[in-house]
Amino acid sequence: MIRNANVNIKNKRATFDYEITDRYVAGLQLYGTEIKSIRDGKAGLVDTYCLFERGELWVRNMHIATYFFGTYNNHEVKRDRKLLLNKKELSKLQRATKETGYTIIPLRLFINEKGLAKLEIGVARGKKNYDKRQSLREK
Protein backbone atom coordinates (compact mmCIF):
# COMPACT_ATOMS: atom_id res chain seq x y z
CA MET A 1 0.00 0.00 0.00
CA ILE A 2 1.84 3.04 -1.29
CA ARG A 3 0.10 6.31 -0.64
CA ASN A 4 0.96 9.56 -2.39
CA ALA A 5 3.75 7.96 -4.42
CA ASN A 6 3.92 10.96 -6.76
CA VAL A 7 6.20 13.00 -4.49
CA ASN A 8 8.68 14.94 -6.63
CA ILE A 9 10.62 17.71 -4.83
CA LYS A 10 13.04 19.59 -7.09
CA ASN A 11 16.04 21.82 -6.45
CA LYS A 12 14.97 24.68 -8.71
CA ARG A 13 18.21 26.65 -8.34
CA ALA A 14 20.42 23.73 -9.38
CA THR A 15 20.13 24.08 -13.15
CA PHE A 16 20.34 27.87 -12.93
CA ASP A 17 23.45 28.06 -10.73
CA TYR A 18 25.24 24.92 -11.95
CA GLU A 19 26.08 23.09 -15.15
CA ILE A 20 25.20 19.42 -14.56
CA THR A 21 27.54 16.86 -16.15
CA ASP A 22 26.52 13.48 -14.65
CA ARG A 23 23.41 12.29 -12.82
CA TYR A 24 23.03 9.44 -10.32
CA VAL A 25 20.14 8.08 -8.25
CA ALA A 26 20.99 7.32 -4.62
CA GLY A 27 19.04 5.82 -1.76
CA LEU A 28 18.70 7.62 1.57
CA GLN A 29 19.17 6.31 5.09
CA LEU A 30 16.15 7.78 6.90
CA TYR A 31 14.20 7.49 10.14
CA GLY A 32 10.51 6.56 10.11
CA THR A 33 9.26 10.07 10.78
CA GLU A 34 11.45 11.43 7.96
CA ILE A 35 9.95 9.16 5.30
CA LYS A 36 6.46 10.04 6.51
CA SER A 37 7.21 13.76 6.16
CA ILE A 38 8.64 13.20 2.67
CA ARG A 39 5.49 11.33 1.65
CA ASP A 40 3.52 14.37 2.84
CA GLY A 41 5.71 16.54 0.59
CA LYS A 42 7.31 18.47 3.46
CA ALA A 43 10.95 18.56 2.40
CA GLY A 44 13.22 21.09 0.72
CA LEU A 45 16.50 21.03 -1.18
CA VAL A 46 17.46 24.72 -0.93
CA ASP A 47 21.18 25.22 -0.06
CA THR A 48 21.73 21.46 0.04
CA TYR A 49 25.03 19.85 -0.92
CA CYS A 50 26.83 16.50 -0.71
CA LEU A 51 30.27 15.72 0.69
CA PHE A 52 32.51 12.76 1.40
CA GLU A 53 33.39 11.80 4.98
CA ARG A 54 35.40 8.65 5.71
CA GLY A 55 34.67 7.22 2.25
CA GLU A 56 30.90 7.67 2.55
CA LEU A 57 28.71 10.21 0.77
CA TRP A 58 26.51 12.41 2.98
CA VAL A 59 23.91 15.02 2.15
CA ARG A 60 23.99 18.14 4.31
CA ASN A 61 21.38 20.87 4.98
CA MET A 62 18.47 18.91 3.50
CA HIS A 63 15.33 20.17 5.22
CA ILE A 64 12.75 17.55 6.17
CA ALA A 65 10.02 19.02 8.37
CA THR A 66 9.10 17.33 11.64
CA TYR A 67 6.27 14.84 11.33
CA PHE A 68 3.04 16.32 12.67
CA PHE A 69 1.93 13.14 14.43
CA GLY A 70 5.43 12.33 15.72
CA THR A 71 6.17 12.02 19.41
CA TYR A 72 9.25 13.03 21.37
CA ASN A 73 11.19 10.66 19.05
CA ASN A 74 10.85 13.08 16.12
CA HIS A 75 13.93 13.62 13.95
CA GLU A 76 16.17 16.68 13.62
CA VAL A 77 15.10 18.91 10.75
CA LYS A 78 18.51 19.49 9.11
CA ARG A 79 20.64 16.53 10.16
CA ASP A 80 23.25 14.91 7.88
CA ARG A 81 21.85 11.92 5.99
CA LYS A 82 23.86 9.09 4.46
CA LEU A 83 23.47 8.38 0.73
CA LEU A 84 23.45 4.76 -0.40
CA LEU A 85 25.41 4.04 -3.60
CA ASN A 86 27.53 1.23 -5.07
CA LYS A 87 31.29 1.28 -4.53
CA LYS A 88 31.88 1.92 -8.24
CA GLU A 89 29.56 4.92 -8.21
CA LEU A 90 31.17 6.25 -5.03
CA SER A 91 34.65 6.02 -6.53
CA LYS A 92 33.50 7.77 -9.74
CA LEU A 93 31.95 10.57 -7.70
CA GLN A 94 35.01 10.92 -5.50
CA ARG A 95 37.26 11.19 -8.57
CA ALA A 96 34.94 13.79 -10.09
CA THR A 97 34.98 15.98 -6.99
CA LYS A 98 38.79 15.92 -6.82
CA GLU A 99 38.80 17.96 -10.05
CA THR A 100 38.84 21.70 -9.52
CA GLY A 101 35.45 23.39 -9.58
CA TYR A 102 33.26 20.27 -9.44
CA THR A 103 30.83 19.48 -6.64
CA ILE A 104 27.91 17.14 -5.97
CA ILE A 105 24.46 18.66 -5.54
CA PRO A 106 21.00 17.13 -5.03
CA LEU A 107 18.65 17.70 -7.96
CA ARG A 108 15.44 15.90 -7.06
CA LEU A 109 13.90 13.98 -4.16
CA PHE A 110 11.26 11.43 -5.11
CA ILE A 111 9.52 8.22 -4.08
CA ASN A 112 10.09 5.28 -6.47
CA GLU A 113 7.59 2.55 -7.45
CA LYS A 114 8.51 0.44 -4.41
CA GLY A 115 7.80 3.30 -2.01
CA LEU A 116 11.44 4.09 -1.22
CA ALA A 117 12.81 7.62 -1.03
CA LYS A 118 15.48 8.32 -3.64
CA LEU A 119 17.67 11.36 -4.23
CA GLU A 120 18.85 12.26 -7.72
CA ILE A 121 22.29 13.85 -7.43
CA GLY A 122 24.45 15.47 -10.06
CA VAL A 123 28.11 16.25 -10.57
CA ALA A 124 28.08 19.97 -11.26
CA ARG A 125 30.30 22.92 -12.00
CA GLY A 126 29.28 26.43 -10.95
CA LYS A 127 28.23 28.90 -13.63
CA LYS A 128 29.58 32.42 -13.94
CA ASN A 129 27.19 35.37 -14.14
CA TYR A 130 27.50 35.64 -17.92
CA ASP A 131 26.67 31.93 -18.24
CA LYS A 132 23.51 32.48 -16.19
CA ARG A 133 22.46 35.37 -18.44
CA GLN A 134 23.11 33.21 -21.50
CA SER A 135 20.90 30.41 -20.16
CA LEU A 136 18.12 32.95 -19.49
CA ARG A 137 18.34 34.16 -23.09
CA GLU A 138 18.04 30.58 -24.36
CA LYS A 139 14.78 30.13 -22.44
Q: What is the pLDDT of residues 21-80, one digit of tens each?
A: 999 999 999 998 999 999 999 999 999 999 999 999 999 999 999 988 888 888 888 999
Question: What's the pLDDT at 3?
Answer: 57
Q: Which CATH architecture has domain 8-138?
A: Beta Barrel (2.40)
Residue 100 confidence (pLDDT): 87
Whole-number Å distance between alpha carbons of 120 and 23: 7
Contact 7, 37 (CB under 8 A): no
What are the extents of the domains in the chain? 8-138
Q: What is the pLDDT of residues 93-128, one digit of tens each?
A: 999 999 889 999 999 999 999 999 999 999 999 888
pTM of the predicted model as reported, rounded to 2 decimal places: 0.86
